[in-house]
Amino acid sequence: MNDDRQQIARIRKMERRLNTATAAVKRLTAALDKWEAAQDAIAALDEYYGSDLWRQDFADDEAGLLPAELKRGVLSEDGIWNLLTDCKELKDRLAASGAPTTD
């Protein structure tokens, strides 16, 4: 009887692990799909940041020439930089795990 209880406990434990792992894989797969879809946007932001266009947009914002209601996170000095840094760190983490990265 004791073996039966241990067996049932083991199966329940493994079932919980299966459910946890399955959910995690599904979430990560969805996140990676979004990450891959965002690569063009990330590349465009990388090209824009620090370009003559970005500098002009930044200067015009500083001079008050842009509409007050215009969202301008892209003109913050840290917004794009932080995103690009996070992307690099994520690529490094994926590479360290053996997962393929998009470059």
70 and 100 assigned to the same domain: yes
DSSP state of 70: S
pLDDT of residue 61: 96
User: Rounded to whole angstroms, what are the CA distances from 52 to 32, 45, 94?
Assistant: 32, 13, 32
Q: Are residues 56 and 93 in the same domain?
A: yes
If asked whether residues 28 and 58 sit together in one domain, one would say no
The pLDDT value given to residue 39: 95
Statement: the pTM of the whole predicted model exceeds 0.95? no
Q: Are residues 28 and 44 in the same domain?
A: no
Provide the number of structural domains found in the chain.
2
User: Quick one: CA dihedral 93, 51, 76, 35, positive or negative?
Assistant: negative
Token pair 């020439």 is found at 65
Q: Once rounded to an integer, what is the mean pLDDT over residues 88-93?
A: 93
**Domain range for 21:** 1-32
Same domain, 63 and 22: no
**Contacts of residue 49, Cβ cutoff 8 Å, sequence gap at least 6:** 80, 81, 84
The whole-number pLDDT of residue 85 equals 96
Closest to 36 in 3D by CA, of 98, 94, 78, 82:
94
Please tell me whether residues 42 and 85 are part of one structural domain.
yes
pLDDT digits (tens, 9 = 90+) for 18-57: 999 999 999 999 999 999 999 999 999 999 998 999 999 9
